[in-house]
Amino acid sequence: MTCEEFERVGWDAERDASLSAEERAAAFAHAADCPACAALEDSWRAAKMELRAFGAATEAAETPSRVEMRLRQEFRTRHRSLRVRRTAVMASWGLAAAAVIFGTVTWINWRNGQRDAQANVSHAGGAQAATRSDAATAAAETLVADNNGGDFTPLPGSMVFDSDDASIVRVRMQRGSLSALGFPVNEERASDWIQVDLLVTDDGLPQAVRLSR
Amino acid sequence: MTIEERVADGVLLGRAGKGDEEAFTVLYRRHQAALFRFAVRMTGSAWAAEEIVQDIFMTLVREPKKYDAGRGAVGAFLFGIARNRVMKHLERAPRDISLETDGEDTRIGATVLQDSFTPAAWTEQRERAKHVREAVLELPPEFREAVVLCELEEMSYEEAAQAIGCPIGTVRSRLHRGKALLLAKLELLREVPRRANAGR
């Protein structure tokens, strides 16, 4: 080994694990023969001892406890706000889901209602067609029957009322107008003029009808 | 602390990510000293080292998912952050290291050999430690890093190469250059004639 080689790899041969056994032996042999390189090796040994002493002095160094306190405080703050945010997100999702469910149920109910209404209309249409031939008779009978009994026939959709507070208004109208009040009318006799008594409540709305005598 | 000491770092980090403060504290206590030591030896300032360690764990608190278990151990991940922070600190304030005065307790080596037998020996050793500290801190950062890891932290070349993230050959050559420079500086400090080509 030459002095240049010794300077490059030899003066820390003891520590340098990357050196082969032959290189290490050559370094030791060179240091034994060359006083300059031996001095370099000695210098490094001395420097290394000082380095070790310096390392030992800082060996026990630890982060001050205030750092741990600060970090734990930050950790708590961070995770508390994360928890709050997570709860808020969950709540918003819950509300959104509830709104969707409510909307869906409402829409289904509305659609079912529409379907029922259509079914009623077609059913009523069919019934009307079936009874068209004797509609006039039926209507007359109903009204006549009520009339005979002296009772008014409540109009469809009328509210429960106290007949004592209502007044009777006699009107002359075409029979066809009864259909506007929800009664079946024989179309052949729709243009006939009839006289009816309307039971009118305080709010001015007719609640019941009867054929006047 | 009720968490067992042998619980793996990765598990602790996972728990910490879910808000387990105890797991975070155990993880902190497990790694803080080594990171602080590295930072203080690299920067020469306890204040800077304190800030660096705080930064490292703040990163862990704020972005626990930054750690990828597939890329290595938690310790290596933390050391990587420490290294980056130290390098940034050295780039930002390269003169900070020389600003601390002898009287400050934050100076590394301040606790040197408190059990020395005589005031004269204590003073001499304190003076020597100061010289070594100055010599180490005057090394260029990459050489200083190799010296700190291999000579002070007593890592093997392989471990140092893994920590720095470079080939073993690079560590070896940086260490050699660092040691040569250190030797030259220490020889100079001792006012002993040095070899003409030492530290080149």
Name the pLDDT band for B151 (thresholds 50, 70, 90).
confident
Q: How far is CA B194 from the centre of its chain?
A: 28
- Of A122-136, A146-160, B69-83, the poorest mean pLDDT is in A122-136
At residue A150, the pLDDT reads: 58
How far lies A53's CA from each of A46, A63, A128, B129, B176, in Å?
11, 20, 114, 7, 20
Listed residue (B66, B63, B74, B67) closest to B26, CA to CA: B74
A17 contacts on B by Cβ (under 8 Å): 156-157
Of B75, B110, B145, at which residue does a domain stop? B110
Highest mean pLDDT, choosing among A37-41, A90-94, A112-116: A90-94
Q: Do B150 and B157 contact (CB within 8 A), yes or no?
A: yes
Mean pLDDT confidence for B130-157 = 87
User: Residues B7, B103: one domain?
Assistant: yes
Of B110, B132, B164, at which residue does a domain stop? B110
User: Residues B59, B120: one domain?
Assistant: no
Highest mean pLDDT, choosing among A7-16, A139-148, B138-147, B184-193: B138-147
Q: Do B182 and A51 contact (CB within 8 A), yes or no?
A: yes
Q: Which residue from A9, A36, A82 is facing B195, i.e. has the nearest CB?
A: A36
A68 contacts on B by Cβ (under 8 Å): 25, 28-29, 32
How far is it between the farthest Cα atoms of chain A? 152
Query: Percent of chain B at pLDDT above 70?
Result: 78
CA–CA dist B19, A83 (Å, integer): 9
At residue A127, the pLDDT reads: 58
From the CA of B166, how many Å to the nearest CA of chain A? 16
Sign of CA dihedral A92, A93, A96, A98: negative
Chain segment A95-110, per-residue pLDDT in tens: 999 999 999 999 999 9
Q: Do B132 and A51 touch (CB under 8 A)?
A: yes
User: Residues B1, B15: one domain?
Assistant: yes
- Residue A128 φ/ψ, nearest 5 degrees: -65, -40
Q: What is chain A's alpha carbon radius of gyration, rounded to the nearest angstrom? A: 55
Query: Percent of chain B at pLDDT above 90?
Result: 19
B113 contacts on A by Cβ (under 8 Å): 53, 57
Of B65, B91, B110, at which residue does a domain stop? B110
CA–CA dist B185, B179 (Å, integer): 10
Query: Which helix (H) or strand (E) segment is A30 a member of?
Result: helix A21-33
Mean pLDDT confidence for A13-42 = 81
Averaged pLDDT score across all residues of chain B: 79
CA–CA dist A3, B198 (Å, integer): 12
Mean pLDDT confidence for A161-174 = 79
Best mutation target among A7, A54, A62, A81 (most B Cβ atoms within 10 Å) is: A54
Chain segment B26-80, per-residue pLDDT in tens: 999 999 999 999 999 898 888 999 999 999 999 888 888 888 878 788 888 899 8
Higher pLDDT, A112 or B98: A112
How far lies B35's CA from each of A72, B40, B56, B80, in Å?
18, 8, 9, 10
**CB burial of residue B169 (10 Å; 0-12, 13-18, 19+):** exposed
User: Residues B96, B173: one domain?
Assistant: no
Name the pLDDT band for A160 (thresholds 50, 70, 90).
low
Could you tell me the CATH number of the domain that includes residue B159? 1.10.10.10
At residue B33, the pLDDT reads: 92
User: Residues B106, B181: one domain?
Assistant: no
Which ipTM value was assigned to this complex?
0.72
Higher pLDDT, A48 or B141: B141
Domain that residue B142 falls in: 112-200
Q: Which residue from A8, A57, A76 is facing B21, i.e. has the nearest CB?
A: A76
Question: What ranges do the domains of chain A cover?
Answer: 3-57, 135-211
Indicate the number of domains in chain B.
Answer: 2
- Residue A12 φ/ψ, nearest 5 degrees: -130, 40
Could you tell me the CATH number of the domain that includes residue B29? 1.10.1740.10
From the CA of A50, how many Å to the nearest CA of chain B? 7
User: Residues B9, B99: one domain?
Assistant: yes
B36 contacts on A by Cβ (under 8 Å): 61-63
A170 has pLDDT over 80: yes
At residue A88, the pLDDT reads: 87
User: Residues B118, B85: one domain?
Assistant: no
Q: Do B112 and A18 touch (CB under 8 A)?
A: no
B131 contacts on A by Cβ (under 8 Å): 50
B1 has pLDDT over 70: no
Interface of B with A in 64-103 (CB under 8 A): none
Chain A contact for B50, CB < 8 A? yes
Chain A contact for B121, CB < 8 A? no
- Of A14-18, A48-52, B110-114, B134-138, the poorest mean pLDDT is in B110-114
Higher pLDDT, B111 or B136: B136
